[in-house]
């Protein structure tokens, strides 16, 4: 393991059936405690949803979001409690920013889960009112995709939602406008375009309608000062304090995810290792392609977690042996 470990938490789309089953099987005390707490805070049967639910049951936004955060928190606590792991810095991709703020001591875990459940409910409400869509465009520079979105404005709302890496940008908006932008991207030479299986047009101006209501929810929650560096996916820069974190979570709803900027900031911070904590390996893939010389690891399954715990314990024992 590296001394300057940049830890990343995934967002919506990383959910999958049985995503926490290995945690309960291999680490029942630690993971079980976290999932039970998450279940009480959210009012959802997360222990079952994260272990036995089918993909279709996890698909709704209002279910997927708390389930991903609960699984990510359980994974982190396994690393922290069983091997003493503490990141050098953290960041989360959209939804994952809530997990990052919990780990950094800015948010209480129960508050984060309650906020995430409400966030998912509000976002799902937008999907019932708007025929929205999202699509990943691969193989065109972001600036060109911005131009395509601007050229498509006559067909409706379509905007860049995620700057994920140099060769992958996600667009979001009204379905007809997204489809037209996808057509133009193909004509412009995109390697491929991938419709995303989401229920709402996330991270675009169509989400402004829920900002005020969610801001009121955020005002009811205490935000502390970061105990370690947190890089926001809204700006790509560090979160200054609790008030700043609260404002960023409000802006996050309709603003694009600037993950390219987050990884650039991590490199400037001096990160020499990247660790994705939670379900999936999407962020690991972005890091590998963006920072090819760095060591990138994930916690997607029991084998990877077992190997990681072994390495963390060895690293912790090495200074003691040297002394």
Apex CA 289: angle with CA 307 and CA 158, to 5°? 120
| 203 labelled catalytic | yes
In whole angstroms, what is the distance from residue 218 CA to residue 62 CA? 17
Catalytic residue (one of 22, 93, 203, 244): 203
In whole angstroms, what is the distance from residue 127 CA to residue 255 CA? 17
Catalytic residue (one of 42, 47, 72, 94): 94
Place of tokens 């200054």: 240
Q: How far is CA 112 from CA 68, 103, 117, 146, 246, in A?
A: 12, 11, 9, 33, 11
In whole angstroms, what is the distance from residue 288 CA to residue 274 CA? 9
Pairing of strands 230-231, 273-276: unpaired
In whole angstroms, what is the distance from residue 251 CA to residue 301 CA? 33
Which residues 6+ apart lie within 8 Å of 323 measured at CB?
Answer: none
55's enclosing H/E stretch is helix 55-58
220's enclosing H/E stretch is none
**What is the set of active-site residues?**
94, 203
């Amino acid at each position: 393991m590296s001394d300057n470990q940049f830890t990343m938490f995934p967002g919506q789309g990383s959910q999958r059936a049985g995503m926490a089953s290995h945690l309960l099987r291999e680490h029942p005390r630690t993971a079980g405690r976290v999932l039970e707490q998450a279940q009480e805070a959210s009012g959802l049967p997360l222990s079952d949803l994260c272990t036995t639910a089918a993909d279709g049951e996890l698909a709704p936004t209002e279910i997927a979001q708390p389930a991903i955060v609960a699984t990510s928190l359980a994974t982190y606590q396994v690393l922290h409690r069983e091997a003493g792991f503490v990141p050098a810095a953290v960041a989360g991709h959209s939804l994952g920013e809530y997990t990052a703020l919990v780990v950094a001591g800015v948010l209480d875990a129960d508050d984060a889960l309650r906020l995430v459940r409400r966030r998912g409910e509000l976002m799902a409400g937008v999907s019932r009112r708007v025929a929205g869509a999202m699509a990943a465009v691969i193989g065109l520079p972001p600036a060109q995709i911005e131009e395509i979105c601007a050229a498509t404005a006559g067909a409706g709302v379509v905007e860049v939602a995620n700057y994920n890496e140099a060769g992958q940008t996600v667009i979001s908006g009204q379905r007809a406008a997204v489809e037209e932008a996808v057509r133009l991207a193909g004509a412009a030479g995109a390697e491929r375009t991938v419709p995303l299986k989401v229920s709402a047009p996330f991270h675009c101006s169509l989400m402004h309608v829920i900002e005020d209501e969610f801001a009121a929810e955020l005002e009811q929650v205490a935000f502390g000062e970061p105990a370690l560096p947190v890089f926001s996916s809204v700006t790509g820069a560090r979160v200054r304090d609790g008030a700043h974190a609260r404002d960023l979570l409000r802006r996050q709803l309709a603003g694009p995810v600037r993950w390219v900027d987050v990884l650039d900031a991590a490199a400037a911070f001096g990160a020499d290792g990247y660790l994705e904590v939670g379900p999936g390996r999407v962020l690991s893939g972005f890091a590998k392609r963006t920072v090819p010389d760095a060591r990138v690891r994930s916690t997607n399954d029991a084998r990877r977690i077992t190997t990681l715990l072994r390495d963390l314990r060895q690293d912790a024992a090495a200074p003691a042996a040297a002394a």
